Structure 1
Amino acid sequence: MRIGLAANRLHHERADAALFRWLRASATGIRELGVALHAVGRTHDAILAALPAGGLPGLTRYPNGREGGLMKLVAEIVGMGAPERTLDGAVYLIDPVDPSSVFPEAIALKRQCVIHGKPFISTVASARDWVEMERIHAGLPADPGADDLHDFGNQTLALIAHDARKPQMLAFAAEHFDVLSRFAQRIGTGTTGQHLNELAWSRGWPREQEWIQRFQSGPLGGDAQIADRVLEHRCQRAIFFEDPHVARQHEADIQLLERAVTTVTDEAVCITAPNLAARWAIAARRRPQQR
């Protein structure tokens, strides 16, 4: 498995920075899974300086960002016609106030991951969660160090979908209703929330109770309301089915939610594609539940 890796300066400039918190938490799983990390220049160099040599045997250096390193990751997410030139996903630990996080290549990296159904991982919590999900799919025992990510009974889950993705969100919720119902609370935006409540009532959920708490629709501020929950540490996981093929009139609101998630990088998990959400839900079902 080949994963592109980049981190904004904030996340690798100190020994306790986000990049190293992730690698120290997940290094065993990365090795168990045989994940080869293909890191943009300064991110690669920071890893070598901070971690013992040989700790990540699949680590490969790409050019610095200003020399096209991040652009190369984008091209290899799309695929370059050979397995050794194709990435299976990307970890990009984002500092939301770093100007480079909104450079075209940074935006394109996420967009192409969503289009091609590959993981785009932008927070420490998401990166830890992804490694544990893949470990479970590989038949490895649950890592107790990831138990905090699976304490669904004390967590809030946000479910959001663009108009073109609403049928996929409903299909996902129908198939994995049991896993989603484990969360202490579910929140969502306008129409998506109403459709999900109707689904839950059809499944026997008490009609006097909302299965999902509805906020405003996205264009009317629902994304901002959920972003506020994330920043207040009151929403720990977001499943956001984005449609990358249409113009988004409320682009700023969507970016607001994404920036909120990366602001609380150790706490918030975000999944942006239906196939990856399904893969997560299957792993969550297989993993022993928290007591």
Structure 2
Amino acid sequence: MNKALTTPTQRRLRIGLIANRAHQDAHDSALVQLFQRATKSIQALNIEWIVVGRTLDAIHTHGVADLCQPHVRFPYGRDGGLMKLVAHVVNSDPQNSVDAVIYLIDPVDHSSIFPEALALKRQCVIHRKPFLSTLAAACEWLELEALAQGSVTHFSAQLGINLGQESIALIAHDALKQNMLQIAEQHFSLLDQFAHRYATGTTGSLLNQLAQKIKGEQAGRNWVQPFLSGPMGGDAQIAELVLEKKIRRIVFLEDPHVARQHEADIQLLERAARTVTDFALVLSDGAGSERWLRLLGERLRHSPN
């Protein structure tokens, strides 16, 4: 372990952890793969895990409990464990809050659409805390956060860093389109390295206007491939590319304060990412997305490629 990262005065990173049943039971389940793939990142970070009932049972069963120390056990979901986790997302007391949530969601598990599960994601977005619902998202976030803490010896070969062979989707609700433009302008050189960029509706048009301003009218004209607007089916178009593993990363700036008639379309896109949990990841708030892009750029500078 990197001793420089575990000084007595450093506050522990507190991570809420839960996995649906299908991601717990098998010896190669997403939960087990999380600890196997992210071993070096976890060891480089000073983590206190907040684990919901049955997920902790599975961790012990699969013999990876040494990587989940120290931890706090929450009740089983049926006894309110997930509800308690929501309360700790919104708690402002550093000793009783969580900094991020890893919720490995099986897209066909009906418990993932229980009110407490939906509230957990929404409150993470409101309080600007990472909500990591796929294996790929959790592994990449842990690796980048370890880098942010100063470790450069934990890198995993499984973190995709060849952006020239990858695609990214950029989506923003109306109130957050300017936020998306600010993020895109700030990290334009990084986003420009992706092989393809996709967006829905107006967001795509605005991003192409930004690209024309930066790269020139002709070079920036088709910087982003725009799809239909979200309510008209753009989310579904992007979801198909995610399922085909043609889009790995999705920056989706959600406005949690507005009623959305096309909520089902939004959930469809998230469901697509969770269907290919070891491949795709979704980032849902501006601050988290900006930090992720910044750290990804730093990670690329450390790449031997």
Equivalent pairs counted in the alignment come to 290
> Which of the residues 210, 228, 252 maps onto 1:216?
228
Q: Deviations over 1:149-207 (max 9, x none)?
A: 22211111000000011010001001110111111100010100000000001001452
> Which of the residues 74, 78, 87 maps onto 2:98?
87
1:149 is paired with a residue of what secondary structure? coil
Counterpart-to-counterpart distance in 2, 1:56 and 1:112: 24
Corresponding residue of 1:101 = 112
> Which of the residues 177, 185, 193 maps onto 1:182?
193
Corresponding residue of 2:6 = none
> Which of the residues 228, 237, 249 maps onto 1:225?
237
**Contact (CA 8 Å) 2:41, 2:155: kept in 1 or not?**
no
Does 2:174 correspond to 1:192? no
- In the alignment, residue 196 of structure 2 is paired with which amino acid? Q
Deviation of the 1:28 alpha carbon: 2.3
Structural mapping, 1:250-261, within 5 Å: 250-261=262-273
Does 2:98 correspond to 1:77? no
Deviation of the 1:82 alpha carbon: 2.8
Deviation of the 1:56 alpha carbon: 2.4
Deviation of the 1:115 alpha carbon: 0.2
2:199 is paired with a residue of what secondary structure? strand
Counterpart-to-counterpart distance in 2, 1:274 and 1:178: 18
Corresponding residue of 1:159 = 170
Structural mapping, 1:127-138, within 5 Å: 127-138=138-149
Question: Which sections of structure 1, spanning at least 5 residues, go unmatched?
Answer: none
> Which of the residues 257, 262, 265 maps onto 2:274?
262
Deviation of the 1:58 alpha carbon: 1.8
2:250 is paired with a residue of what secondary structure? strand
Counterpart-to-counterpart distance in 2, 1:34 and 1:51: 20
Q: Deviations over 1:226-255 (max 9, x none)?
A: 000000111110000000000111111111
Corresponding residue of 2:218 = 207
**Contact (CA 8 Å) 1:34, 1:58: kept in 2 or not?**
no
Counterpart-to-counterpart distance in 2, 1:147 and 1:63: 33
Deviation of the 1:147 alpha carbon: 5.1
Deviation of the 1:142 alpha carbon: 5.7
Counterpart-to-counterpart distance in 2, 1:36 and 1:112: 20
Counterpart-to-counterpart distance in 1, 2:64 and 2:107: 29
Q: Which moved more, 1:103-112 or 1:55-64?
A: 55-64
- In the alignment, residue 257 of structure 1 is paired with which amino acid? L
Residues 133/63 of structure 1: CA separation in 2 closer, same or farther (3 Å cut): same
Counterpart-to-counterpart distance in 1, 2:259 and 2:290: 26
Q: Deviations over 1:131-153 (max 9, x none)?
A: 11101211211644245422211
TM-score under structure 1 normalisation?
Answer: 0.96
Deviation of the 1:114 alpha carbon: 0.1
Residues 52/239 of structure 1: CA separation in 2 closer, same or farther (3 Å cut): closer
Residues 285/53 of structure 1: CA separation in 2 closer, same or farther (3 Å cut): closer
**Contact (CA 8 Å) 1:44, 1:60: kept in 2 or not?**
no
Corresponding residue of 1:111 = 122
Counterpart-to-counterpart distance in 2, 1:15 and 1:205: 52
Corresponding residue of 2:3 = none
2:28 is paired with a residue of what secondary structure? coil
- In the alignment, residue 93 of structure 1 is paired with which amino acid? L
Question: Which sections of structure 2, spanning at least 5 residues, go unmatched?
Answer: 1-12
In percent, how many aligned pairs have the same letter?
Answer: 49
Residues 22/35 of structure 1: CA separation in 2 closer, same or farther (3 Å cut): same
Does 2:60 correspond to 1:48? yes
Moved over 6 A (4+): none
**Contact (CA 8 Å) 2:140, 2:159: kept in 1 or not?**
no
Corresponding residue of 1:66 = 78
- In the alignment, residue 268 of structure 2 is paired with which amino acid? L
Q: Deviations over 1:253-273 (max 9, x none)?
A: 111001000000000011111
